[in-house]
Amino acid sequence: MARVAIVTGGTRGIGEAISLALKEQGRTVVANYCGNDERAKAFSDRTGIAIAKWDVGDHEACLTGCVKAAQDHGEIDIVVNNAGITRDGTLHRMSWDDWNEVMRVNLGGCFNMAKACFPGMRERKWGRIVNIGSINGQAGQYGQVNYAAAKSGIHGFTKALAQEGAKYGVTVNAIAPGYIDTDMVAAVPEPVLEKIVAKIPVGRLGHAEEIARGVAFLTSDDAEFVTGSTMSINGGQHMY
């Protein structure tokens, strides 16, 4: 039977590419989303991929959403924690709410999804968790103390949980994307983006599919010996 994968924030941007790559690999995919009903429905109609709405920053909603997904599609073997937001601003302008919301969704979401799905993977002795970090969690970024801290936290979370899963056939890895051409990057002002691209040795933004191919490998049987690692996919912008 096909393994079941949940991709958070799986209906657009990098998440959309991940959902499609896992489907192509033969997985049964459930694409989670939070706000954009119309776009999520259009994605589902276009791809045939099931969608499920909940806020990954809400602990109870994650537990309930994952139980329902398992009832509808089968036990969850693969979780890709891709959902993420930005609330940028230099520290002196950043509010407590901006700090908290980014930690709640970006880092709290990983904890909530792992709480919902890791115990079952551990019992069944097979599981794959991939957490989407960021180059800015590795290197820091002006105006992003909240985002950089949350993404950096994801890398620590990944290494700690990898140790807990290792004996049970559950691998936990992270991908740290560089700048990828999605809505999130479209929000960066053009002159800033030009400066960023000038610092990417490969000379361009990345494509969502290039991240998805990394996820497809890390969630495959071939990656059984890969755990606790961070795969940087960033066109050479930061060599960590």
Please give the residue ranges that form the binding site for ligand NDP (CB under 6 A).
Answer: 8-9, 11-15, 32-36, 39, 55-57, 82-85, 105, 132, 134-135, 177, 179-180, 182-185
* Alpha-helix residue ranges (DSSP H) falling in the chain: 13-24, 37-47, 59-73, 96-102, 108-124, 135-139, 145-165, 183-186, 190-198, 208-218
| Cβ distance to ligand NDP smaller for residue 117 or 132 | 132
| Cβ distance to ligand NDP smaller for residue 33 or 111 | 33
DSSP secondary-structure letter at 222? G
| Cβ distance to ligand NDP smaller for residue 32 or 173 | 32
**Angstrom distance (rounded) from CA 30 to CA 11:** 10
Q: Tokens representing 54? A: 């909940």
Sheet with 230-233, strands from edge to edge, namely 50-53, 28-33, 4-7, 76-81, 127-132, 170-177, 230-233
Q: Least distance to ligand NDP from the beta carbon of 151, Å?
A: 7
Active site residue 147: yes
Q: Least distance to ligand NDP from the beta carbon of 197, Å?
A: 11
**Residue of 33, 147, 168, 240 with catalytic role:** 147
Q: Provide φ and ψ at 59, rounded to 5°.
A: -60, -50
Which residue is associated with the tokens 């890969």?
Answer: 226
Known catalytic residues?
147
